[in-house]
A and B are shown apart, each in its own frame.
Chain A
Amino acid sequence: MAERWDRARVLALAPDASSLRAAQLLASGRSWPLTGAADDSALWGECLGSTVTPYRTVVDLSGPAYRCSCPSRKFPCKHALALMLLWSDGTVGTNGGPPDWAASWLAARSAKASDPKEPKAPADPAAALRRAEQRETRVASGLTEVDRWLCDQVRQGLAASQRYGYRHWDDIAARMIDAQAPGLAERLRALAAVPYSGPGWDGRLLEEYALLWLLAAAGREQAGLPPPLRDTVRSRVGFTIRQADVLARATPVRDHWHVLARRDLDQDRIRTRRVWLRGRRTGRTALVLSFAATGQSLDDSLTVSTQIDADLAFYPAAVPLRALLATRHDIGPAGPPSGTTIGGLLAGYAAALAEDPWLDTWPSVLEATPARAPVPCLYDAAGEALPLHPGAGDCWPLFALSGGRPLTVAGEWTPRGLWPLTAWDEGGMVVPL
C-alpha cells in the first residue's frame, strides 16, 4: 500500500503547462460523478466532458500508468491528473472495489508485470557488422560535406546569416541525418537561432562553426586519438552507445550522490531532463539524462536536495559526466553542497576544456552573491564576478532569496554565462529556481 502523494508530486507528472492548468480546473467534485481508489494503489473515476458519456479514467499508481477513454494524446491526460489531484486532496473514497471497466485494465496490468518479456533473439552478427561499416562510410562522407559547407560559409562571409531563414541550417542538418551523424545535425540545426541571439551573434556563430570544423577534423582523424577522446568525438558526432553496453563496460562508481540541480529542455518534440549529481566521497560530478516525447512525463525519481546512495555507470568520454543509475541502494535528505569560488569554477572549466574542447555546459556550485550591475551576475568573496546567462531571464527569485547576502548556487556554466538552477540561502533552505 502506497502512501498518498502530495500535490507537488502529482503536478510534477503534468506533461506541459496547459495540461496542468486544465487538470487544476477539472479537479473539482463538480466534474466527477464517480471516483474511487483501491488501497491507494489504483484510482478510477468518471469525468463529465463535452461528450454524452463520461470519460473513464484509471490510474495504476505503482507505475504510475494511466488509461483514459478521452481522445487526448497527452500522457497523463488532464483527466488522469485531475483524478490524482482529487486523490491527493484526500477527496477520493476508498470504499468499494473498482467497476468492471477499471478492474479489467488493472488486472491486465498486474498480469503483464508478473510475466517478464522474453529476451530478444540475438541479431545476425554478420549483418550487424556490415551495417556498422556502412555507417562509418556514410559518416565519413558527411564529415567531408560539413567541412566543405563550413568553408563555403566563411568564404562567402557570415554577414548574410541574418538574412537566411531556418532553411539554411535545416538543409545541411538534414544532409547530416542522411549521413547518420545526428550529433552534427543537432548542432547545425541549433545554429539557426544564433544570428538572432542579440549583440555578439557574429562572434558566437564563428565560434560554433569553428568548433564544428574541429569536430569534423577530429572525426576524420579518430583512429589516431586516445580512446577517451575518441569516445567523446564519436558521441558528439552522433554515435550512441546502448545502455546495456555502458553498464557492461563501465566499472560502477558507488557514492552518496547529492542531487544538485535539475533542468528541463523542450526541443523538437522531445523533452530532455538533465539532473546534476555530485558524489560525496569521490567529488565527481555526474549528469543523468532522461527523455520523454512532448506530452509525456519525465522521470521524476531524482529530487533536488536529496542524496542517493547508488552505483553510477559513466559513459566513456574524455570528461566523463553522463552516467546511468545502475543500482540504487538508499535515498535520504541532503543539506547545502559546498561551493567554489569564481576562480575555482573557471580553473575547473579550463581543465575540462583541455580534455574536451566542445564542452559548453559545465556544472558548478558557487558560494556567491547576486548583483544586477553592470549586468545580472554573481560575485564571490574575492569580488570576482561572472554574468548570469541572458536566457535565464530576470532571475528575480534568486535575488529575492539573497537579499544582497551570499548564497550557494548550483547551475550550468556556459560561455554565455551561468544558468542558475538551485540556490541555498545562508540558513540552508533550498530553492529550485
Chain B
Amino acid sequence: MNSWHDLVAASLIGTERSVVPAVGIPGLPPAEDDPGDPAAVLLDRAALLTAARRAGRRPDRAEPLPVCAPDPRPTVSPAAARRLRRLISGEHPDLLTEWLAAAVARGLRLPPQLLPALMDRVLRGRPADPGLPRLLAEAGGPRARWLAGLNPDWEHAAEEPSTDDRTWRLGDTRQRRGYLASLLNRDPDAGRALITGGWDAAGAADRVMFLSVLADALGPADEPLLEAALDDGAADVRRWAAYLLARLPGSALGQRMAERALRYVRVEQTVQGPRLSIGTPRRPDAELQRDGITAHPEPIRAPVESRNHVLLEVLARTPLSTWTDGLGLTPAEVVALPSGGWAPVMFAGWSRAAIAQGNRDWISALLGRALNGRPGTAAEIEALRQLARRADPALGAPGATPVSAGDPDAPPPIRDTVRVLRFRHDMLKELHNG
C-alpha cells in the first residue's frame, strides 16, 4: 500500500511544504479533492488508512526451526521445578550442582522453559564450577543442545566434552580440561597416562589444571605423581598436591600428618573421664611446609589465631581413622571428648578433614555435636556451613535434628544450618518422588 508511505512522507515534511497525497483503499471510492485545511485532510486520510491497514493486515511467512529430538525422560515434578527456579534465581547457589546431579542420576528431564535462565546462570557462574557445563549438557539433554544451536551465547553453557584427541593437542584450556575429565571418567588409566606423559612439558597453569581435574578421579595410583609434585617449583601445584594427598586414603602424607597430630593431641584420663590434652604446635618447619602447611593463615580461610593455625591445618589433613581406630571410639564419641579452649579448633579441623575425606559418619557426628552446642568462632561457623552442604540429606528430615530452623532459642548459625539441611532434604525428596 504505497499511499500510506506517501502519507507518512508528507506528514514528515509537513503540509506547509508538501501536498497531501490521495489515498486509495480497496473497496472504497477514491477520495475526492478536499478543499479544507490540508493538515486536517491529511489526518482524516491517515485515520481512515490506519483502521484499514490494521483490519486488513495480511499474515507473514516464517522459516520453521528444526524440530528438537525427543527426550524420553519423564519431567521433574512441579515442586522440583519450582525449587530449580529458586536455585536459578540465586537461592543457595552452591546447591545447584547437587540438584542437577540428582536429576541426572534419577533420569529426569528438566522443565524446558527454565533452560534459558539456567544456561545464562551457568555462564555467569563461570569459572567457579568447571564441571557445571558437562552436568547441564547431560541434564538438559537434546533440548539444551537445540537451544544452544539457536543462541551462540549458550554454545559453552551446556557443552559435552569432546572425545576427539585433536582437542587435547589443539584445544584451549577449557576444552582440554573437558577432554581430560571425560577420558578419566571413561578410561582412568588412559587419563593418568595422559597426565604423567605430559607432566614435564606442561606449564605451571596446565599442571594445576591436571591436578584439579584429577581431584574428581583420585586413586592410590596417583600418589607417586602427587608426592613428587610436593617439590614442584610452582606454589599452586604444591598446594594442590598436598590437598589431594590429604584426601587420598592411606597416603604417606596422611601418615605423616597422623604422626604430627598424635604428637599434639593426646587423650588424658581424668576423674571426670577421658579428655583431650593439646600441646601447642611449633611454627611450621620445612617438612610441614613441604606438606602444604605454611606459616600464615591464608586470607580466604576463616581467621584463626596463628598458633591454632598449624593445629587446624594438621587436623584437616589427618586421616580420620587416626582418631576412631587409634582411640577405639566412634566418631560421635571422639567429637564429644572435652578439649577446653581448643574445642573450636578441633571442631573446625575435623570438619575440614571430614569434608575432604568425604566421610559422612564424621559429618553427621560433627553436625550432631554442633547442633547441641553454641558455635561461636568464625572457623566453627564456616565449618558448619560446609558440613551442612555435604551431610547426609536425611539429617534434614523433620525431627531429625535436635533443633528446628524456627527454634527461637537456637543461635542463628544453628538455625541457618538446619535451614540448609532442610532445603537439601526437601529438594532431594522432590526429585526422588519423581
Contact = CB atoms under 8 A, between A and B. Distances in A.
A7 B83 CA distance: 10
A241 interface: no
Interface stretch (A26-34, A130-138, A296-304, A317-325): A26-34
B13 A159 contact: yes
A33 B43 CA distance: 67
A167 interface: no
Interface string A1-43: 0000011100000000000000010001111011100000000
Interface in B99-154: 111-117, 143, 146-147, 150-151
A31 B146 CA distance: 44
A155 B43 CA distance: 10
Nearest to A45: B408
A35 B416 contact: no
A357 B52 CA distance: 9
Most chain-A CB neighbours within 10 Å: which of B13, B16, B61, B413? B61
Interface stretch (B63-71, B292-300, B358-366, B387-395): B63-71
Contacts of B64: 369, 371, 379, 404
Contacts of A379: 61-62, 64
B112 A401 contact: yes
B116 to A, nearest CB: 4
Contact of B43 (A34, A151, A342, A373): A151
A266 B65 CA distance: 34
Q: How large is the interface on A (under 10, 10 to 19, 20 to 34, 35 or more residues)?
A: 35 or more
Nearest to A31: B412
A213 B44 contact: yes
B223 to A, nearest CB: 43
Interface stretch (A68-76, A219-227, A329-337, A381-389): A381-389
A89 B151 contact: no
B8 A202 contact: yes
B13 to A, nearest CB: 5
Contacts of A383: 61-62
A270 interface: no
B60 A404 contact: no
Given A35-B406, A400-B143, A353 B51 contact: yes
A379 B60 CA distance: 9
A107 to B, nearest CB: 23
B59 A206 contact: no
Interface stretch (B34-42, B282-290, B313-321): B34-42
B54 interface: yes
Most chain-A CB neighbours within 10 Å: which of B16, B46, B410? B46
A49 interface: no
Looking at chain B's contact residues, is the secondary structure mostly helix, strand, loop, or mixed?
helix
Contacts of B86: 7
B54 A349 contact: yes
A354 B60 contact: no
B57 A35 contact: no
A190 interface: no
B51 to A, nearest CB: 4
Contact of B150 (A30, A34, A399): A399
B406 A91 contact: yes
A17 to B, nearest CB: 10
Contacts of A151: 37, 39-40, 43
Given A29-B416, A35-B406, A353 B11 contact: no
B54 A353 contact: yes
Most chain-A CB neighbours within 10 Å: which of B8, B66, B75, B82? B8
A318 to B, nearest CB: 13
A374 B61 CA distance: 8
B65 A404 contact: yes
B43 A150 contact: yes
Interface string A57-96: 0000000000000000000000000000010011111000
Contact of A7 (B11, B82, B115): B82
A192 B216 CA distance: 58
B414 to A, nearest CB: 8
Given A30-B416, A399-B150, A415 B408 contact: no
Contacts of B416: 28-30
A391 interface: no
Contacts of A403: 67-68, 112, 143, 146
A377 interface: yes
B50 A210 contact: yes
A7 B86 CA distance: 10
A284 interface: no
Contacts of A400: 112-116, 143, 147
Interface residues of B, number: 67
Interface string B78-92: 000010001000110
Contacts of A91: 404-406, 415, 419, 422
A154 B61 contact: no
Interface string B15-47: 111000000000000000000011110111011
Contact of B113 (A35, A155, A346, A401): A401
A150 to B, nearest CB: 6
A35 B408 CA distance: 7
B211 interface: no
Contact of A211 (B12, B50, B57): B50
Nearest to B59: A384
Interface string A394-433: 1011111101110000000001000000010100010101
Nearest to B58: A346
A159 B91 CA distance: 50
Contacts of A425: 112
B67 A404 contact: yes
B127 to A, nearest CB: 23
Contacts of A31: 412
A33 B408 contact: yes
Nearest to A34: B408
Contacts of A387: 60
A165 interface: no
Contact of A154 (B11, B59, B60): B11
Nearest to B66: A404
A353 B55 contact: yes
B12 A157 contact: yes
A214 B47 contact: yes
Contacts of A343: 59
A156 interface: yes
Most chain-B CB neighbours within 10 Å: which of A33, A35, A91? A91
B419 A349 contact: no
In the A-B complex, the 7 residue pairs with the closest CB atoms = A157-B14, A29-B415, A91-B406, A403-B68, A30-B412, A384-B59, A210-B46
Interface of A: 6-8, 24, 28-31, 33-35, 86, 89-93, 150-152, 154-159, 202-203, 206-207, 209-211, 213-214, 342-343, 346, 349-350, 353-354, 357, 360, 369-374, 377-379, 383-387, 394, 396-401, 403-405, 415, 423, 425, 429, 431, 433
20 contacts: A28-B415, A29-B410, A30-B413, A35-B408, A91-B422, A152-B39, A155-B39, A157-B12, A209-B11, A209-B46, A342-B59, A357-B50, A372-B65, A383-B62, A397-B113, A399-B150, A400-B116, A403-B143, A403-B146, A404-B68
Given A349-B57, A371-B65, 16 more contacts: A8-B82, A29-B410, A29-B416, A31-B412, A35-B408, A91-B405, A91-B422, A154-B39, A154-B42, A203-B8, A207-B50, A210-B46, A350-B54, A397-B114, A404-B66, A425-B112
